[in-house]
Amino acid sequence: MLYIGIDDTDAIGGMCTTYLMTEVVRIIEKHGLSVIGYPRLVRLNPSVPWKTRGNAALSIAAGIGSGKKWVCGEYGGVAFSARETGESPSPEIERKIIEDVTALVETRARFEEENTNPGVVFLRKRPDYRFYIRGVREILSKEEVEREIAAMDGIWKGYKNGRGIIGAFCAIAWRPYRCTYEILAYRKEENWGTERRIDEASVKAMDARFRSTFNNYDYENSRIAIAPHSPCPILFGIRATVPDELIDAMRTIKPGEEIERWCIFLTNQATDDHIVKKRIGDCRPGNCVRIRGRVCSEPEVIRGGHVIFRVRDRSGEIDCTIYEPSKEFTIIGRKLATGDVVEVFGAVREIPRTVNVEKLHVVEAKAVRNKQANPQCPVCGKRMKSMGRDAGFVCKRCHVKKGRDEAVWDWIERKSLEGWYEPAVCSRRHLSKPVKLLPNR
């Protein structure tokens, strides 16, 4: 088998590595080979400082196909298929494919963009899965990846600073132990950069009808979530836990223009693969973590409407921040109280040190007490006076004193707050597993 990985060919101003991958499919077919399995769209470490957007990398396998065959895309009205298994191509065909894919990257990548550092990698077997795990959770160096590719007798080409080979290599290393699917529909080149006119009602209808799909429509902000806002070739993308409904779901959308091509990708999106369970004391900047502890400060709303609360476990304490774009999410944050047990998922930021919350599990919301009245004097029966905050009560007439806890308290049950919460659809991270997909919520 020939494995091809590509990364970092696009720029804010246009192009998209997934689109280049559909061109790679054409090259594979032109040379009489098959795409083996689905093309793969792999999201890597979301905290990488040099990513432009969603840190996506792509990989595909090419071979002499056998076994099950299924349609996984279409260009210019012609369907293309993927095969279940494949044998290695001849060295001659392999060489031609490598030449063509390299030429494709060289002609179509956005070299002019400062932050675009394309990389393409060719391997005859998949690298160790641990490289993917590190790629999605840590920072890898180009030199380490180059050494590894060389040791595997692979071929690579890194352009400009060459960093793209890191993503390209890690995308080949991924195995779909946890996975979802995304169908991407592309625009005709003449429409790139123009406004998309997708019919909103058709997106809602698709969302209601196809239960395996997710993150389609942001009901909180009344916004379509399937379409990007960049000038890239993608018209829209629909995500699902299984591939079965994706083609029908795509056909339900009224796109407002012709779909020039489409392709189904196997992805690591919505898997939480970037998240590592940690003790608070072990959290380092750049980590994406799942921590569990007790809320140890009352939530504070800071400028901009963001909500900060502090969480403590036996190893330490850390601030957690819920950002304002997620309005309903910030409301939940404001309802937390000292003593609540929570699990927080998110990325650890360096300055100020805080966890940017991307999912919140309120495990235990403690009942809180609310003072209804001051206590009565046991001698004269009159209501006692407060001696100040936390200072207890005194009877002005009999001089009897009582502690603060002896006031008449009302207990407010907060059990209904227990549960899972996440930002609105449009503010979610590609890798974050939506609450809808959690098994035991």
Q: Which residues bind ligand ATP (CB under 6 A)?
A: 7-8, 10, 17, 44-45, 48, 50-57, 117, 119, 135, 138-140, 163-164, 166-167
d(CA 406, CA 402): 6
Which residue's CB is nearer to ligand ATP, number 93 or number 170? 170
Choice between 159 and 421, CB closer to ligand ATP: 159
**Closest distance to ligand ATP from the beta carbon of 46 (Å):** 9
Distance CA 130, CA 113 (A): 31
Paired residues of 349 in beta bridges: 354
Q: Which of 278/430 has CB closer to ligand ATP? A: 430
CB of 211 to ligand ATP, least distance (A): 27
- As measured in angstroms, the least distance from the Cβ of 343 to ligand ATP is 25
- Smallest separation (angstroms) from ligand ATP to the CB of 262: 18
The three-class DSSP label of residue 320 is: strand
Query: Of 52 and 338, which has the nearer Cβ to ligand ATP?
Result: 52
Least distance from C-beta 106 to ligand ATP, angstroms? 16
Q: Which is nearer to ligand ATP, 228 or 392 (CB)?
A: 228
Choose between 20 and 61: whose C-beta lies nearer to ligand ATP: 20
Tokens of 131: 């490289």
Q: Which is nearer to ligand ATP, 169 or 210 (CB)?
A: 169
Q: Choose between 178 and 396: whose C-beta lies nearer to ligand ATP.
A: 178
Going 376 to 379 to 382 to 388, the CA torsion angle's sign is: negative
Question: CA torsion, points 74, 437, 435, 168, in degrees to nearest 10?
Answer: -50
Place of tokens 């899965």: 129
Per the CB < 8 A criterion, the answer to whether 152 and 127 are in contact is yes
For residues 148 and 128, give the distance between their C-alpha atoms in angstroms, rounded to a whole number: 10
Minimum Å gap between C-beta 142 and ligand ATP is 8
Q: How many residues does the chain have?
A: 441
Q: Which is nearer to ligand ATP, 54 or 325 (CB)?
A: 54
- The nearer residue to ligand ATP, 13 or 316, going by C-beta atoms, is 13
Q: How far apart are CA 395 and CA 383, in angstroms?
A: 7
Residues 286, 349, 321, CA angle at the centre, nearest 5°? 135
Nearest distance, CB of residue 27 and ligand ATP, angstroms: 20
* Minimum gap (Å) between residue 145 Cβ and ligand ATP: 9
CB closer to ligand ATP, 104 vs 365: 104
Smallest separation, CB 193 to ligand ATP (Å): 16
What is the CB-side half-sphere exposure of residue 2 using CA atoms within 13 A?
Answer: 29
Helix (H, G, I), strand (E, B) or coil at 48: coil
Contacts of range 16-20, beta carbons closer than 8 Å, 24 or more positions apart: 16/232, 16/233, 16/234, 17/56, 17/57, 17/58, 18/56, 18/58, 18/184, 18/234, 18/263, 18/265, 19/186, 19/232, 19/233, 19/234, 20/58, 20/104, 20/105, 20/108, 20/109
Which amino acid, 63? G
State the minimum distance, in angstroms, from the CB of residue 362 to ligand ATP: 31
CA 406 – CA 393 distance, rounded (Å): 9
> Please, which residues have CB within 8 angstroms of residue 207's CB and are 6 or more apart in sequence?
213, 216, 217
